[in-house]
Copies of this chain bind each other. A is one copy, B any other.
Amino acid sequence: MTRSRYAPVGVVALCVVLGCWASPSHAAADRDKLLSEPGVYGTFAAFGLTEEWGRQDAPTKIAHLTALKGVVEQHREKIAIDLYLLRGLSDYADILFRIHAAELRDSQKFLTDLHASPIGRYLKKAGILNGMSKKANYVPGFPDQMRADLKAPSEPGASPYAIVIPIRKSAEWWALDQEKRAAMMKEHTEAALPYHKTVKRKLYHSSGLDDLDFITYFETSKLEDFHGLILSLEKVKEFQYTRRFGHPTLLGTMKSLDEIIETLAQ
């Protein structure tokens, strides 16, 4: 029952045409470094598909998706690109790209190349969020046990769900001195720790790069735990200094490039 009865016939042969495996001919960007080090830029670019896309026949769609695949693979030499399917879970957009790059202009180059490729005219941009990774601000001052707990690895295995929540703090937050903010972030972290094993988190700093202060990114296979985590974070004092939380909240599922292509081909 996992495959729709109504998928056009062309899709069945899609993997044969596009080659559903990672091409070994491109040297990949140092993905691990980009995803773990400070000073890396993260861009979240969400797109819908135009009504016109739905009117294209299967061979046209497949030709355009072949080109899409080419653009993504080509840029993967330099930047890290993750894909998510939002369709059916978030009304904001159909697909989401998460891009990590040493320079924002490399992400821009990828997105303009994407736009210039044959599928570009069918992509409706829904939103672009920019942030950067930085060294932890408050963690160095936390107690030893807490710092150790934060280093404990998450449960291994696939995390099908990903959630992006943009955050803007109030002017009052920034007006507090570092000590007061650190105390509240300690309470925040204590509330989050019980969910550390089943919900992965990554923080991006955004002030000035868009209308946000932070982009928070989550991965989990247990949405109920993620809901519990957010509920806990709403109850700590620091939450009262949050002016915007979500708007949009992007909830989707992580997909490989080939899975996204298979969905778009339908």
Contact = CB atoms under 8 A, between A and B. Distances in A.
A263 to B, nearest CB: 6
Given A1-B74, A108-B85, A121 B51 contact: yes
B175 A223 contact: no
Contact of A227 (B105, B175, B209): B209
Contact of A209 (B5, B223, B247): B223
A30 interface: no
Which 3 A-B residue pairs are closest in the complex by CB-CB distance?
A54-B121, A208-B230, A88-B111
A151 interface: no
B113 A89 contact: no
30 contacts: A2-B109, A4-B112, A5-B70, A5-B71, A6-B67, A6-B71, A6-B117, A43-B89, A54-B120, A54-B121, A88-B109, A88-B110, A88-B111, A88-B112, A89-B104, A90-B210, A91-B125, A91-B126, A108-B253, A165-B208, A171-B240, A174-B234, A175-B240, A205-B227, A205-B231, A207-B231, A208-B226, A209-B249, A210-B249, A211-B248
Given A6-B113, A91-B126, A211-B245, 20 more contacts: A4-B74, A5-B74, A51-B121, A87-B108, A87-B112, A89-B104, A89-B107, A89-B108, A89-B128, A104-B223, A171-B234, A174-B239, A207-B227, A208-B226, A208-B227, A208-B231, A209-B249, A209-B251, A211-B248, A211-B249
Contacts of A78: 1
A263 B114 CA distance: 12
Q: How large is the interface on A (under 10, 10 to 19, 20 to 34, 35 or more residues)?
A: 35 or more
A205 B227 CA distance: 8
A59 interface: no
A2 B77 CA distance: 11
Contacts of A43: 89
A34 B210 CA distance: 28
Contacts of A111: 87-89
Nearest to A208: B230
B130 A251 contact: yes
A67 B266 CA distance: 14
Nearest to A116: B266
Given A89-B108, A223-B41, A224-B39, A4 B113 contact: yes
Contacts of A116: 4, 6-7, 263, 266
